[in-house]
Chains A and B, each alone.
Chain A
């Protein structure tokens, strides 16, 4: 393991001052060694993303993490903007676009709805992994290995129900595993989330 950070966490929350979960996730993430965290709305308050800088960051890390609250079954807009701008033809895909080959990709997200809402019989009709298919396919097209999302469901009540501490602990555990390259990247279609990877440990 090199002493350079190997995991890049892109954090996106447009109203951090109201955040109950993600602000603490960010803080917990910053405590783990070998992880670089970037608060995108902080760095690009006018959404004007510096493409060169972001591409260089990608090259410097082995694992890419999107950390965000789920907005309409997807990422907050700045993460979409980031994808639109940074994952250029000739860099991330297409002719000569091999920069991301072999890196890892995972989303760490919080969703307001409870877990049972995210299934065929639930009111969201699809599992979270199905809803994140565009992200999964982006990873595949750019040659990245993909983990199902690391999720916190029922985020609006997580603090009251005291579920946050164990979630944060699990997330730090997961990050340490990513840094140490001890993560098992092979998952079948039936795996909805990757929380189970660290549940044993906590």
Chain B
């Protein structure tokens, strides 16, 4: 037991030291993890034997990542991306595969192995690239979006690759093959004939989709109704682990299973809540995965074949770079975006490790070859942060210089608004914004409410908006504004406080329950606060005046005058409230001021009836009846 703690301590310590350092140096977290791994593994030898075991465990980070990628993929979005997804992504995979195949066969490998190598190196690292994009805020650039669609297609392309590779088995490897890792795995499909296996696979995937479609919602609703946060987290984990296990049992890739499950759940109102529950696990496990990649670098093989490994790595990266750059040109990715696109994807990915292991198990690649190619994959991943640095420090400044000479573009991007709480109040705000073409993300922790809204096609998600990670997955970093319309008064104040502290750029607009709540929200930093009943009460008040026989226009004037006097005295009342004790905000002084306000309001209203130029309604007052006498005197 102590040994496990010690190992875990070493891994975590390495990460805690290396990752912030790497980020501070602008290298990104992935490189930090990789370096941490190299330091505790091959360099100091603190860890070693168990690396492979941990890597299996850490691969679960990749599984979770694909689940999250799947969650992001609504069918509608896929459809919008179809051109780039299929054209750009498909061509990239095909061309890179062809290039790798050609080179490997030229080097004298049998065509089956060569083709497999081509496929393996056509993939890029979703983990590194997406992580770096989100750290450097590059995801919304044209280059970032193009890279995302290519990564997506690659992740999907792994499915046919996994199906295809076993067909390429080499007879000479089968005879001497060890059973590999799969030997001690439990399998439901061992010994089944080919057609039986196919049947099991199809049934499993069918079941997965059907279950995701029909049973996930009742399950989540049942769990959500408990109101226990940790049980929701447990459910999310249960889901991912369950699917991974199921896939393992039928001999499919757990990553692909969870990816599929993610896509099935992408339209669910529980999507954001699922995301924010899985996200921390994914981050840690993925970090662990990168550490094990670093720790697993076989320096023995590396030094022996240093020249070959370096040459192969350079060839892989250069080959991919050229293909990507040309494709970027064909698909009209412009300027610095094309460089971002080409540089960010010019590496092999974590699926490379998975597929290399898989190919070895299926007797397509020899163990020696796999060991060396693993180094190439790792090295190219190692070098990726350097490519991002090259992009940031060398390429981007040139383009920026050029674009600075142009006249500034008019910015008409409206930005997203997050609406926390969509009861009767938040709903109206949401409707008003969406009909004006402003994208909104709506969050509510009443599953019923969310379901109602979704049934009338309002984009809404189940989730507790007061959770920082929930806000994060809802995209608070990119949002222009947050509307706080949740019912819990204290929670609303806390939410406003948290968001203004953490994301000062986001405009926070809040709905207040009453005057005290309004002041609390304001002192928490809200930019705009509206009392929920004020305007409707004033509207009904002025309707009452009309019903009593007042002219509608004059009723409106009185209403506006009322608001004006209130507004003018607001600061005084607020300051007085601020000075009050925590327990007794509405102290004597405040009450005096409030009485004074009432008096002034009365005066303003009475003034409207007088002939003289009153404060509140001096408007449209005719000159005095005798004013022409004065005129004549002058003339």
Residues of A that sit less than 8 Å from B by CB:
46, 48, 51, 84-85, 88-90, 93-95
Contacts and interface: CB of A to CB of B under 8 A. Distances in A.
B184 interface: no
Given A94-B630, A94-B631, A95-B630, A89 B624 contact: yes
A68 B560 CA distance: 27
A88 B622 CA distance: 9
Interface string B43-65: 00000000000000000000000
B33 to A, nearest CB: 49
A90 B618 CA distance: 12
A51 B619 contact: yes
Nearest to B557: A48
A48 B613 contact: no
Interface in B593-635: 613, 618-624, 627, 630-631
A95 B627 CA distance: 7
Interface string B562-591: 001000000000000000000000000000
B613 A88 contact: yes
A119 B620 CA distance: 34
B280 to A, nearest CB: 44
Contacts of A90: 613
Contacts of A94: 623-624, 627, 630-631
Nearest to A46: B560
Contacts of A48: 560, 564
Interface in B454-476: none
Nearest to B622: A89
A145 B386 CA distance: 70
Contacts of A89: 621-624, 627
A94 B613 CA distance: 14
A48 B553 CA distance: 13
B77 to A, nearest CB: 30
Question: Size range of the interface on B?
Answer: 10 to 19
Interface of B: 560, 564, 613, 618-624, 627, 630-631
B607 to A, nearest CB: 13
Contacts of B564: 48
B618 A51 contact: yes
SS class, residues of chain A in contact with chain B? loop
Contact of B618 (A46, A88, A95): A88
A84 B622 CA distance: 10
A84 B630 CA distance: 21
6 contacts: A84-B619, A85-B619, A88-B613, A88-B618, A89-B623, A89-B627
Contacts of B631: 94
A89 B627 CA distance: 9
List 7 A-B pairs, minimum CB-CB distance, nearest first: A89-B623, A95-B630, A94-B627, A85-B619, A48-B560, A94-B623, A51-B618
Contact of A85 (B620, B623, B627): B620
A83 B619 CA distance: 11
Nearest to A91: B613
Contacts of B622: 89
Contacts of B618: 51, 85, 88
A89 B628 CA distance: 11
Contacts of B560: 46, 48
Given A85-B618, A94-B630, 19 more contacts: A46-B560, A48-B560, A51-B618, A51-B619, A84-B620, A85-B619, A85-B620, A88-B613, A88-B618, A88-B621, A89-B621, A89-B623, A89-B624, A89-B627, A90-B613, A94-B624, A94-B631, A95-B627, A95-B630
A46 B564 CA distance: 12
A46 B567 CA distance: 15
Contacts of B630: 94-95
Which of A51, A89, A95 gathers the greatest number of chain B CB atoms within 10 Å?
A: A95
A46 B560 CA distance: 10
A89 B560 CA distance: 23
A9 B618 CA distance: 24
Contacts of A93: 623
B552 to A, nearest CB: 15
A103 B622 CA distance: 24
Nearest to B563: A48
A89 B613 CA distance: 10
A90 B631 CA distance: 12
Nearest to B627: A94
B627 to A, nearest CB: 5
A101 to B, nearest CB: 12
Contacts of B623: 89, 93-94
Contacts of A51: 618-619
Nearest to B619: A85
A103 to B, nearest CB: 19
A48 B631 CA distance: 30
A93 B623 CA distance: 9
Nearest to B630: A95
Nearest to A94: B627
Nearest to A50: B564
A84 B16 CA distance: 70
B225 to A, nearest CB: 44
A51 B621 CA distance: 12
Contacts of B621: 88-89
Nearest to A48: B560
Contacts of B613: 88, 90
Nearest to A84: B620
A125 B621 CA distance: 35
A94 B626 CA distance: 10
A146 B544 CA distance: 47
A168 to B, nearest CB: 15
Contacts of A88: 613, 618, 621
A23 to B, nearest CB: 11
A90 B564 CA distance: 24
Nearest to B634: A95
A93 B620 CA distance: 15
Nearest to B633: A95
Contacts of B619: 51, 84-85
A84 B620 CA distance: 6
Nearest to B626: A95
A94 B618 CA distance: 16
Nearest to B623: A89
Nearest to B624: A89
B25 to A, nearest CB: 43
A170 to B, nearest CB: 22
A115 to B, nearest CB: 31
A48 B568 CA distance: 14
B310 to A, nearest CB: 58
B8 to A, nearest CB: 59
A85 B560 CA distance: 15
Contacts of A46: 560
Contacts of A85: 618-620
A51 B618 CA distance: 8
A17 to B, nearest CB: 10
A95 B624 CA distance: 10
A85 B623 CA distance: 12
